[in-house]
Structures are given as C-alpha cells and as structure tokens.
Amino acid sequence: MQDIVTRYLRTTDIFRDLSEIDIKTIHDFFPMSRCSRGTVFFRAGDGSDRLYILKEGTVLLYRLTREGKRIVVGTVRPGTVFGELALTGLTMRDCFAEAQEDSLVCVASRTDVEQMIRTHPSIGFRFIEVLGRRVLELEQRVEELASRTVTGRVASVLLRLAEDTPDGRLILGYSHDDIADTAGAARQTVSTTLRELEETGVVVLGRKKVEVIDRPRLIEMAAF
C-alpha cells in the first residue's frame, strides 16, 4: 500500500519538486480512500478543513441557486488537489464538492498540511499555482455564463471535457443533466442544443456519451 500511495503522490502537481525520499516521508499524511459516485466531500457552509488529492475519477465543484439549480464552477481531475481554499483562509462556504464517478482520494488534515509546508516550502509555492488556476477557472466560468449563448456554453463544456479524454473526442459518463449543470442552462434547452449539434454533424450522441466529430466547428461555436 505504501508503494501505491507513494506512486500516486509523485504524480500530484503540488509534490512534483520533492525527491523520492521526501515523498516516502510524507506518504503517512495521506490515507487513501475509495469513494462511490455521489459522495459529497464538503457542502456549502461546512468550511473544509481537509486537503483532498484526487487520484482516480472526477470531482465537481458546484453551487446551488436559490431555486436549487446546480451550477458547476470547477472540475477536478486526477493528480489535482481540492479543498485547499479553506486551508489558506479563503473559504469555499458557497461550494459543494461531489464525486462525479467512483473515485480514489487521499486526504490530509489542515494540521498535517501546515506541517508539510513548513518542512517543504516548495509545496507552499505549488499551492499558489493551484489557487491561481482555480481562480482563473472560476473567472472563465463567470465570463461564459454572463456573455455566451447556451450553444456557446455547451460547446465550451464539450471542448473542455474532450480535452481530458485519451483521444480528445469521446466523452463518456456525462448525462444531459451533467452537461446542463456545467453549462449553467436548463436540461431541456441543453438537450435541444445537443440534438442540433448532432444534426449538423458536429457531434454524435449516445447514452452518457458524446463523440466530437467536428472540433473546428465546435471551437467556432464556443466563441458565441
């Protein structure tokens, strides 16, 4: 188990500057846990006091509107941390973090993370990088919601999801509801938009499956 955790930690962005010995030294801080789809790591108002490292699966960061509509504000991929904002004093009181699929995570307490940063200052610099990327992602999401059409937002979502696939084309595991939450639009409207994209040959749809056929056209649509 130690070798498995060590291997996972070595591929995590915040630990990339550490030596093999340092990685093995800190592996005890991060017990590993498997979580099923739908597991909520923290809720709005909780104030997370833990750092999570996602090793397998996908985690969505989202907020709820007054009407209970879920708006996805970020997607966490393997090798990335989340829950880090509370550790720096910036709360995620308005956010939920939920496993989009069966996932494998490593978890550390605030005390453990603070101790690691004191021992290995480079980890602190990597935290700054992660925070910067997270803030940029949030700014991009706000810009999309404020200025783009539903078609543009759906196209942007599909492009982002496709970038994380092995072939850059086949998106698996996302329902129309999931895409609607990420695009910040009603499910019915998103379903209609997806059908229109299929009719024009931009994508091919299946059950929890979208295959991007015409990426250049999708990029054009994402600009509006």
The pLDDT tens digits of the residues spanning 15-73 come to 766 777 777 777 667 778 899 999 999 888 776 678 888 989 999 988 888 888 888 88
Give tens-digit pLDDT for 75-106.
Answer: 888 888 888 655 555 555 678 899 999 999 98
In this predicted structure, what is the pLDDT of residue 216? 95
In this predicted structure, what is the pLDDT of residue 112? 84
Task: Retrieve residue 175's tokens.
Answer: 């329902």
Nearest one of 181, 222, 184 to 203, comparing CA atoms: 222
C-alpha torsion sign, points 27, 31, 32, 37: negative
In this predicted structure, what is the pLDDT of residue 84? 64
Q: Give the integer Cα–Cα distance in Å for 30 and 50.
A: 11
Q: Give the integer Cα–Cα distance in Å for 156 and 221.
A: 8
Q: Mean per-residue pLDDT for 10-16?
A: 70
Q: Where are the alpha helices (DSSP H) in the chain?
A: 2-10, 20-26, 84-87, 110-119, 121-147, 150-163, 176-183, 187-199, 215-222
State the chain's maximal CA–CA distance in angstroms: 57
Give tens-digit pLDDT for 95-139.
Answer: 889 999 999 998 888 888 888 888 878 777 777 777 777 777 777
Ranking 8-17, 69-78, 165-174, 211-220 by mean pLDDT, the lowest is 8-17
Cα-based distances in Å from 138 to 43, 95, 120, 135: 18, 12, 28, 5
Q: Is 159 exposed, middle or buried (0-12, 13-18, 19+ CB in 10 A)?
A: middle
Q: Give the integer Cα–Cα distance in Å for 34 and 198.
A: 36
Q: Give the integer Cα–Cα distance in Å for 162 and 156.
A: 10
Lateral strand order in the sheet of 80-82: 32-35, 103-109, 50-56, 80-82
C-beta atoms surrounding 187 within 10 Å:
16
Between 150-163 and 215-222, two packed helices, what is the crossing angle to 10 degrees? 130
Q: Give the integer Cα–Cα distance in Å for 90 and 73.
A: 16
Look at residue 202 and tell me whether its pLDDT is greater than 80: yes
